[in-house]
């Protein structure tokens, strides 16, 4: 039987340090959903995500005594998850080759999406689902650091300052690297512009105004 | 401006961190250039798509899997024996006392949001100490199945208190005021009050609630909580209460205000500020300070 404990994190950490393993169990319950969620976004695989989460909590167990408390526990845990993920990827990279192109369900062609008025909602829904799938796959193609940044900022909606703490990088570096990551993501998504409701191909040219003036 | 320059700035433009003259120049270019506008729309659609990613449901056996992995691989913990139950119960009681005092009694003017609270003192508190009424009010957000965030007020007291929570669009006249919850709060028991329904009926993006107990009055500004803004540029001049409501709405973050009898006129002019920064700026020179309490920010007397 499990009852929610309203003790703050620091109280639970203190209890854990004094030898109370129940406090650790409570901390795990408090954060496992968050930790799993981040791990899933990074790995895009439920099994790998659970492995990353389990390893992250193991590291928490082993190092909670040294936790200095100069960041929120959630921030610190995000940092641990990111590190576990980097380690997993390093191990993985030794074993397999990572595909460089996004897969589509039927062919390599960009999907054609004929939209008819009567089933516009069904198509709208299907497009949204497809958009999510394509986005997740594109995120998986980003280099690890960029992936972590995009997931933390755009999906987990963590502020820049916290991401800087999580990755141990200066704020300016986070902002510029995140910008690079977004551009990389946009390049990966170029074949799917229609799926995002954007039609025109981006030809770089003079502003319309300038053309009109000529 | 050239297209390449504009395209390099599109993400910053979306998040509002391009400011002043540069923003005007980017805007002018976008007004005139269809291709760059298409590019902007593409980035905007990507941002939207990413923030609309649904929550992931963890596998049912996740907790067991984690604990098994930890038990199997944890380093043996040195020195400490597992505590006997009675000792644990004693520690928990002390912890609960410390928790309440640490959070509710301490009046601090510093912004502590990003810092992990100071380590708990080993010294045991005087348990016989007369306890003032100390209220813990949190706004927490529960994820609904459709992905919506539903605000719930959690209230708990350290002694029995009769309390009233009401919604008043105009607190001066109490016109159209509506009691949301009324009753006794028991020590050690948490009362949860869902606020979604009231928020839906509120005309604004933020619900203003008044929370009264033992003659103390607090104001809670509760937004739906979505989409949250991380940074924003704010320029306002208003009475403190109004200013706080606007910030709660802008950042979609709950703010609790404990009026001390003073409601100064405040001026705020910040660019790309976090809520913490904006609040800090707002309260400079006032008799108020700010503290973070879970997801809720509390503005209290220094």
Mean per-residue pLDDT, A167-182: 92
Say yes or no: B14 and B140 in one domain: no
Residues whose CB falls within 8 Å of the CB of residue A128, separated by 6 or more in sequence, listed in order = B52
Say yes or no: B30 and B167 in one domain: no
Beta carbons of B66 and A209 less than 8 angstroms apart = no
- B288-293 and B255-257 as β-strands: parallel, antiparallel, unpaired? unpaired
Say yes or no: B140 and B228 in one domain: yes
ipTM of the complex, rounded to two decimals: 0.80
Mean per-residue pLDDT, B137-156: 79
Can you read off the two tokens belonging to residue B142? 């529960």
Say yes or no: B45 and B108 in one domain: no
Among candidate residues B183, B207, B184, the one with its CA nearest the CA of residue B195 = B207
Smallest CA–CA distance, residue B256 to chain A, in Å, is: 19
Beta carbons of B89 and A5 less than 8 angstroms apart = no
Among candidate residues B37, B120, B265, the one with its CA nearest the CA of residue A200 = B37
Residue B37 structural domain: 3-49
For residue B74, being part of any structural domain is answered with: no
Domain count, chain B: 2
Interface probe for B, chosen from A9, A19, A56 (most Cβ of B below 10 Å), is: A19
Give residue A40's pLDDT band: very low, low, confident or very high (50, 70, 90): very high
Say how many C-beta atoms besides its own lie within 10 A of residue A52's C-beta: 25
Compute the Cα dihedral for A159, A161, A164, A170 and give only its sign.
Answer: positive
Please identify, among B49, B64, B80, the residue that sits at the C-terminal boundary of a domain: B49
Identify all chain A residues contacting B91, using CB atoms and an 8 Å cutoff: 15, 18, 20
Across all residues in chain B, what is the average pLDDT?
75
Q: What dotted CATH number matches A1-92?
A: 1.10.1740.10
Nearest residue in chain B measured CA to CA from A139? B50
Q: A31: left (phi > 0), else alpha (psi -120 to 50), else beta?
A: alpha
The predicted pLDDT at position A95 comes to: 61
pLDDT tens, residue by residue, B102-123: 333 333 323 323 233 333 333 3
Helices (H) and strands (E) in chain B, counts: 8, 12
What would the DSSP string read from start to end of B191-236?
EEEE-HHHHHH-SSSEEEEEEEETTEEEEEEEE---SPPSSEEEEE
The more confidently predicted of residues B174 and B205 is B205
Say yes or no: B137 and B275 in one domain: yes
Compute the Cα dihedral for B290, B291, B297, B299 and give only its sign.
Answer: negative
Say yes or no: B235 and B168 in one domain: yes
> How open is the CA angle B217-B296-B12, to the nearest 5 degrees?
135
Say yes or no: B246 and B176 in one domain: yes
Mean per-residue pLDDT, B185-206: 76
CB atoms A15 and B95 under 8 Å: yes
Output the CA torsion A78→A79→A81→A85 (10° steps).
130
How much of chain B exceeds pLDDT 90, in percent? 19
Q: B188: left (phi > 0), else alpha (psi -120 to 50), else beta?
A: left
For residue B84, being part of any structural domain is answered with: no
- Examine the pLDDT at B141 and tell me if it is beyond 80: yes
SS3 B294: coil
Give residue B201's pLDDT band: very low, low, confident or very high (50, 70, 90): low
The predicted pLDDT at position B58 comes to: 92
**Is A124 touching B (CB cutoff 8 A)?**
no
Can you read off the two tokens belonging to residue A117? 């008025």
Identify all chain A residues contacting B54, using CB atoms and an 8 Å cutoff: 132
Beta carbons of B20 and A198 less than 8 angstroms apart = no
Smallest CA–CA distance, residue B267 to chain A, in Å, is: 25
Beta carbons of A98 and A140 less than 8 angstroms apart = no
Please report the number of interchain residue pairs, chain A to chain B, with beta-carbon separation below 8 angstroms: 190
CB atoms A72 and B116 under 8 Å: yes
Mean per-residue pLDDT, B126-134: 42
Query: CA A60, CA A15: separation in Å to the nearest integer?
Result: 15
Interface probe for A, chosen from B7, B34, B37, B46 (most Cβ of A below 10 Å), is: B46
Decide: residue B194, CB within 10 A, 0-12 exposed, 13-18 middle, 19+ buried.
Answer: middle
Say yes or no: B167 and B40 in one domain: no
**Is B76 touching A (CB cutoff 8 A)?**
no
Smallest CA–CA distance, residue A63 to chain B, in Å, is: 10
Per CATH, domain A119-197 is 3.40.50.2300: no
Domain ranges of chain A: 1-92, 119-197
Say yes or no: B28 and B110 in one domain: no
The predicted pLDDT at position A128 comes to: 82
> How open is the CA angle B71-A151-A78, to the nearest 5 degrees?
35
Give residue A204's pLDDT band: very low, low, confident or very high (50, 70, 90): low
pLDDT tens, residue by residue, B41-86: 999 999 999 988 888 899 999 999 999 898 888 776 443 433 333 3
SS3 B242: helix
The predicted pLDDT at position A196 comes to: 86
The predicted pLDDT at position B196 comes to: 79
Smallest CA–CA distance, residue A91 to chain B, in Å, is: 19
């Amino acid at each position: 039987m499990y009852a929610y404990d309203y003790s703050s994190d620091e109280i639970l950490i203190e209890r854990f340090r004094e030898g109370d393993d129940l406090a650790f169990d409570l901390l795990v319950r408090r954060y496992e959903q968050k930790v799993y969620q981040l791990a899933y976004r990074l790995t895009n695989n439920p099994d790998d995500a659970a492995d990353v989460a389990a390893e992250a909590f193991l590291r928490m167990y082993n190092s909670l005594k040294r936790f200095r408390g100069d960041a929120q526990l959630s921030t610190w845990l995000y940092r641990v998850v990111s590190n576990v993920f980097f380690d997993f990827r390093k191990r993985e990279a030794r074993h397999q080759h990572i595909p460089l192109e996004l897969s589509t369900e039927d062919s390599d062609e960009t999907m054609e999406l004929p939209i008819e008025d009567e089933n516009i909602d069904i198509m709208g829904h299907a497009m949204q689902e497809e958009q999510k799938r394509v986005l997740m796959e594109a995120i998986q193609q980003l280099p690890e650091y960029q992936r972590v940044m995009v997931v933390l900022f755009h999906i987990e909606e963590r502020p820049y300052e916290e991401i800087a703490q999580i990755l141990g990088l200066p704020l300016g570096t986070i902002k510029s690297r995140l910008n690079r990551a977004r551009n990389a993501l946009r390049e990966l998504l170029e074949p799917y512009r229609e799926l995002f409701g954007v039609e025109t191909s981006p030809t770089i040219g003079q502003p319309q105004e300038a053309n009109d003036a000529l | 401006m050239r297209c390449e320059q504009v395209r390099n700035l599109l993400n910053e433009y979306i998040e509002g961190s391009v400011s002043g003259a540069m923003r005007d120049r980017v805007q002018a270019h976008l007004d005139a250039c269809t291709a760059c506008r298409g590019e902007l729309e593409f980035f905007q659609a990507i941002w939207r798509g990413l923030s609309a990613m649904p929550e992931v449901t963890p596998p049912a056996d996740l907790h067991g899997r984690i604990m098994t992995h930890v038990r199997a691989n944890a380093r043996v913990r040195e020195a400490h024996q597992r505590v006997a139950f009675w000792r644990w119960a004693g520690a928990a009681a002390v912890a609960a006392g410390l928790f309440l005092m640490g959070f509710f009694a301490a009046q601090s003017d510093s912004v502590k949001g990003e810092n992990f609270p100071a380590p708990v003192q080993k010294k045991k508190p005087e348990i016989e100490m007369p306890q003032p009424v100390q209220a813990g009010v949190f706004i927490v957000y529960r994820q609904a199945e459709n992905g919506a965030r539903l605000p719930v007020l959690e209230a708990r007291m350290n002694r029995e208190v009769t309390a009233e929570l009401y919604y008043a669009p105009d607190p001066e006249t109490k016109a159209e005021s509506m009691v949301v919850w009324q009753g006794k709060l028991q020590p050690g028991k948490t009362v949860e009050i869902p606020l979604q329904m009231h928020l839906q009926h509120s005309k604004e993006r933020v619900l203003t609630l008044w929370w009264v107990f033992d003659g103390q009055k607090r104001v809670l500004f509760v937004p739906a909580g979505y989409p949250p803004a991380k940074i924003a540029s704010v320029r306002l001049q208003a009475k403190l209460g109004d200013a706080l409501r606007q910030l709660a709405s802008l950042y979609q973050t709950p703010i609790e205000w404990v009026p001390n009898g003073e409601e100064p006129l405040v001026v705020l002019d910040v660019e790309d500020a976090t809520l913490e920064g904006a609040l800090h700026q707002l309260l400079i020179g006032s008799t108020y300070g700010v503290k973070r309490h879970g997801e809720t920010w509390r503005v209290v007397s220094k």
